[in-house]
Amino acid sequence: SSGINAEYGGKSGATLTGIFDNHGKNDFKKGNVDTFEFTQMKKVGAIRCIALRVLVGEDAWMFNTMTVTCGNKKKTFTNDDNVWLSNDPDDSGVEFLKLC
């Protein structure tokens, strides 16, 4: 499994999520839609960018789209370049990905 978190930024600043993990669920399975909810996040206004970072784990993960919702603000990011996230040097992925 992979430990991934994100920082998303908007007009009023940036905020950091916790690790993407739904306890008791096998997250990041191919073809699944996963939802992660983080409470007490700082409101950043209109969402502009997201930066994803792999913290731990050896599995590679690639997403098609990711939607960030903060209050009544929402933005969908698309992984147009099909970038894999991984911190395993044997994978062809990256540890850090920023999308705007």
Task: For 24-81, write each residue's pLDDT tens digit.
Answer: 888 888 898 999 999 888 889 899 999 999 998 777 889 999 999 888 889 999 999 9
Neighbours of 61 (CB within 10 A): 20
Q: Is this structure's pTM higher than 0.95?
A: no
Q: Which residues contact 5 (CB under 8 A, 6 or more apart)?
A: 16, 17, 18, 19, 20, 52, 53, 55
**According to the model, what pLDDT value does residue 57 have?**
78
Q: What are phi and psi of 25, to 5 degrees?
A: -120, 145
Residue 58 Cα distances to 33, 45, 65, angstroms:
21, 34, 22
Q: With bands split at pLDDT 50, 70 and 90, how would you rate the model's confidence at 1?
A: low
Amino acid at the residue 88: D
Q: Which residues of 3-33 are buried (b: 16+ CB within 10 A; e: fewer)?
A: ebbbebbbeeeebebeebbeeeeebbeeeee
Which of 100, 29, 20, 9 is CA-nearest to residue 55?
20
